[in-house]
Amino acid sequence: MKATDSRSLHGHVIRELGKRIVVGDLRPGDLLPREEDLAESMAVSRTALREALKVLSAKGLIESRPRVGTRVRATHFWNQLDADVLSWRCASMPTDDFIAKLVEMREIIEPAAAAAAARRRTAAQLAKVEQAYRQMEVARDSEAWAMADLGFHDALLQATGNELMISLFSVIESALGMFFVLSAQTAGDFSYSLPHHLKVLEAIRRKQPEVARKAMQNMIADSLANLHRKRRKSTRKTP
């Protein structure tokens, strides 16, 4: 996905205020300073500030009313699935709890996506998945493999033909990508996960939704177990 352009001035304001809210520096119910004061304190014009406030308002983070001011809304109003909101949370809140929620979403989507792809894929879409798989087969270094793996999952998502699922997965995946570097998979891994990918591919080719779902579940389970094992072995960052 795309995050708000931080280079532009109001983009910077969006990021700054958005982070402060998501992190909890500004808490729900809190009243922001007057626009004029806030603009001054961030060294931008009121115009630029207001453009930023409008965007944050669209993300459900704040609410402005004449005479009363701008206040932070309750968390249940936030667009939790917004790419920015998600990335701000990821950038600051390294609680395993939140990561677990992201992983849970991934575990829900991907098997369902595999099943949907198996049910509805066109010939062209299947070809794309097959091509991605072949690129995984011939991948030599871990970078090429990571790229091909990404392509496989993307092709699979496209084959579902459901743009809502595609969008959801893309958001979740990019958020997860901020924790687990994609190229973290070392050379030993693909000989490990390649058969899983093959099973998913075969199920999609044969249009067997439930088989595809199960295969994907197995793949995820293995991947997670692998990750945990590695995490335990390597430097433990968890307190």
Output 4 or 125, the one with its CB closest to its own copies.
4
Q: How is 61-110 classified by DSSP, letter by letter? A: SEEEETTTEEEEPPGGGS-TT-HHHHHHHHHH---HHHHHHHHHHHHHHH
**CB atoms inside a 10 Å sphere around CB 121:** 23
Q: Which partner from the list its own copies, DNA, none does 140 bind, CB cut-off 5 to 8 Å by kind?
A: none
Restricted to residues 6-45, the positions that interact with DNA (CB under 7 A) are: 8-11, 32, 34-36, 43-45
Using CB under 7 A as the binding rule, whether residue 104 contacts DNA is answered as: no
Using CB under 8 A as the binding rule, whether residue 108 contacts its own copies is answered as: yes
Using CB under 7 A as the binding rule, whether residue 3 contacts DNA is answered as: no
Three-class SS of residue 3?
A: coil
Using CB under 8 A as the binding rule, whether residue 58 contacts its own copies is answered as: yes
**Contact code string over 154-193 relative to its own copies, x by CB under 8 A:** --------xxxxxxx--xx---------------------
Q: Is 223 exposed, middle or buried (0-12, 13-18, 19+ CB in 10 A)?
A: middle
**Contact code string over 44-63 relative to DNA, x by CB under 7 A:** xxxxx-xx-x----------
Size of residue set near its own copies by CB under 8 A: 41
CA distances from 84 to 15, 24, 25, 166 (A): 8, 15, 17, 17
Output 116 or 118, the one with its CB closest to its own copies.
116
Q: Which partner from the list its own copies, DNA, none does 213 bind, CB cut-off 5 to 8 Å by kind?
A: none
Using CB under 8 A as the binding rule, whether residue 81 contacts its own copies is answered as: yes
Cα Rg of the chain, angstroms = 21
Return left, alpha or beta for 106; rule: phi > 0 is left, psi -120 to 50 is alpha, else beta: alpha
CA 73 to chain CA mean position, Å: 23
Output 104 or 141, the one with its CB closest to its own copies.
104
Q: Which partner from the list DNA, its own copies, none does 60 bind, CB cut-off 5 to 8 Å by kind?
A: its own copies
Backbone angles phi, psi at 65, to 5 degrees: -135, 140
Restricted to residues 61-100, the positions that interact with DNA (CB under 7 A) are: 64-70
Using CA atoms in the order 205, 162, 132, 170, what is the torsion angle rounded to 10 degrees? -150
Binding residues (CB under 8 A) for its own copies: these are 2, 4, 10, 14, 47, 50-52, 54-55, 57-60, 75-84, 101-102, 104-105, 108-109, 112, 116, 162-168, 171-172
The residues binding DNA (CB under 7 A) are 8-11, 32, 34-36, 43-48, 50-51, 53, 64-70
